Amino acid sequence: MKKIHIISGGTVSHIRPHLALCAPAYGSAGMKIANILRDRWKNLGHSTSADHLNLHQTRMATGYPNRKLETNEDVSKLLDKLIADPDTGVIFMPVALCDFEVFHIDDGPKYDGGLNIGKEYSRLKTSDGQRTLMLKPAEKLIGKIRKERKDIFLVGFKTTTGATENQMFDAGMNLLKRNSCNLVLVNDIQKRLNMILTPEMARYCVTEDRDEALRELVGMTTARSGLTFHRTNLVGGRLLGWHGPKVPHSLREVVNHCIKHKAYKAFNGVTVGHFGFLQKVEGQKILYSSRRKKNYNFQEDRDLVGVVFNDGIPTAHGAKPSAGVRSQYELFKYNPDYDCVIHFHCPLKDGSKIRIRPQKHLECGSLECGMNTLDGMTEYCDGVAAVMLDKHGPNILFKRDIDPEVVIDFIENNFDLSRSTSE
């Protein structure tokens, strides 16, 4: 069983002896997460050990603090060890890191311009009167975890102050997307509101009950950290132009309609969702899929990448495909009569009868998400099948030779393209 690490408490940034900046946090979130995990395993009849569950409390924390874990640098060194350990499986990061560090102190006319920050320098004396300190942003640490180890399940934490629910969502999604977190818990320390965010840009457990949010976070982490992912092999190759003759007319018309009606909404310049089609070339099946981290509202970002699956392992030619390429593969594999697919993050219209499948415990891009999508796929009219993933959006299959207006009418009758499932 992979190791779970929880890093909790606050850090300090030393200025001079007996003077430091600090991020005051006392480790209660880390202790609660550890206790929730122990209770879950106990109820399931599982035993735990120190090797499996590791709670790293900073020196500031109450309850079993680590006297060697005090500064951002100490946390950074700990993360390096966890990243280097192949048995590290999950990292919770409720630790409060100092966002700033002092890089200059006005020491008066005697100051020679050199470095004068740290415990090894003389204390500042109140008798000398007013001093000026200059701050600079501290290095961000969370980003290096999955930059080096995509197999680590990373849970980030974001604190806001007096923010609206949508402002909390934006702040948490910025943290999640920039650092490739698997989940993020956002809490507002003034409004006492909590919410859990996912890579699919969904919000769960919006509540003022902090303990409820932590229990839900642990449950989602336990479920999602056990999913199956296959890394895509990337090799050289050319993209397939969006306006080229190989792209089915029906797919191009349906996607362009959805783009025109704002179905693909950008966050930080990147749209979520995907689209693609299956092509047989000299007996080989090639899945042409939309690309990852692109804005489909720009025509040049709609060019497709060819992906070939061998024993379930994808190899992409020329660029990284959308995370949804796994679901695309499963859908085409078990629905051989269909060869076009589109997915966007828009909710159902009132009265729609499209079948809904739960998504809370499934991350987009996993094998299990693909199988869940497949399990709910239902044909609703000749040449069109669909399933709605809760808080995620629909996957719609259709045939390349279909009249695109049939698919467009189906979409317009069932989905609200003006809204987002992230609302």
Whether the pLDDT of residue 224 is over 60: the answer is yes
| Amino acid (1-letter code) at residue 386 | A
Q: What is the mean pLDDT of the chain?
A: 93
Q: Which of 297, 300, 293, 296 is nearest to 275 (CA)?
A: 296
Fold assignment, 3-224: Rossmann fold (3.40.50)
| Cα–Cα distance, 309 to 233 (Å, whole number) | 10
CB 74 within 8 A of CB 62: no
Mean pLDDT throughout 152-179? 97
Note the pLDDT of residue 206: 97
Whether the pLDDT of residue 111 is over 90: the answer is no
Whether the pLDDT of residue 127 is over 90: the answer is no
pLDDT digits (tens, 9 = 90+) for 196-205: 999 999 999 9
CB 359 within 8 A of CB 366: no
CB 384 within 8 A of CB 339: no
Q: Which of 175, 143, 180 is nearest to 159 (CA)?
A: 175
Q: Which of 211, 107, 199, 98 is nearest to 153 (CA)?
A: 199
Note the pLDDT of residue 117: 86
CB atoms within 10 A of CB 130: 6
CB atoms within 10 A of CB 46: 11
Least confident of 170-179, 236-245, 277-286, 310-319: 277-286
Note the pLDDT of residue 115: 66
Note the pLDDT of residue 36: 95
Handedness of CA 281, 283, 284, 287 (dihedral sign): positive
Angle, helices 325-334 vs 367-376, to 10°: value is: 40
CB 103 within 8 A of CB 134: yes
| Cα–Cα distance, 38 to 27 (Å, whole number) | 17
| Cα–Cα distance, 324 to 397 (Å, whole number) | 14
Binned at pLDDT 50, 70 and 90, residue 48 comes out as low
Whether the pLDDT of residue 106 is over 90: the answer is no
Torsions phi, psi for 179 (to 5 deg) = -115, 10
For residue 2, CA distances in Å to 152, 182, 219 come to 10, 16, 16
Mean pLDDT throughout 207-229? 96
**Beta strand residue intervals within 208-361, DSSP E:** 233-235, 266-267, 270-271, 274-281, 284-289, 305-310, 313-317, 340-343, 356-357
Pairing type for strands 233-235 and 313-317 reads: parallel
The residues spanned by each domain of the chain are 3-224, 233-414
Note the pLDDT of residue 110: 56
For residue 99, CA distances in Å to 11, 23, 30, 41, 79 come to 10, 8, 20, 35, 17
pLDDT digits (tens, 9 = 90+) for 341-376: 999 999 999 999 999 999 999 999 999 999 999 999
Torsions phi, psi for 223 (to 5 deg) = -75, -50
Q: Architecture of 233-414 per CATH?
A: 3-Layer(aba) Sandwich (3.40)
Using CB atoms within 10 Å of the CB of residue 383, give its burial: 0 to 12 exposed, 13 to 18 middle, 19+ buried.
buried
Mean pLDDT throughout 309-318? 92
DSSP notation for 179-230: HT-SEEEEEETTT--EEEE-TTS-EEEEES-HHHHHHHHHHHHHHHTT----
* Tokens 């060019």 found at: 303
Binned at pLDDT 50, 70 and 90, residue 46 comes out as low
CB 322 within 8 A of CB 289: yes
Note the pLDDT of residue 123: 87
Note the pLDDT of residue 120: 85
Q: Torsion-angle region of residue 136: left (phi > 0), alpha (psi -120 to 50) or beta?
A: beta
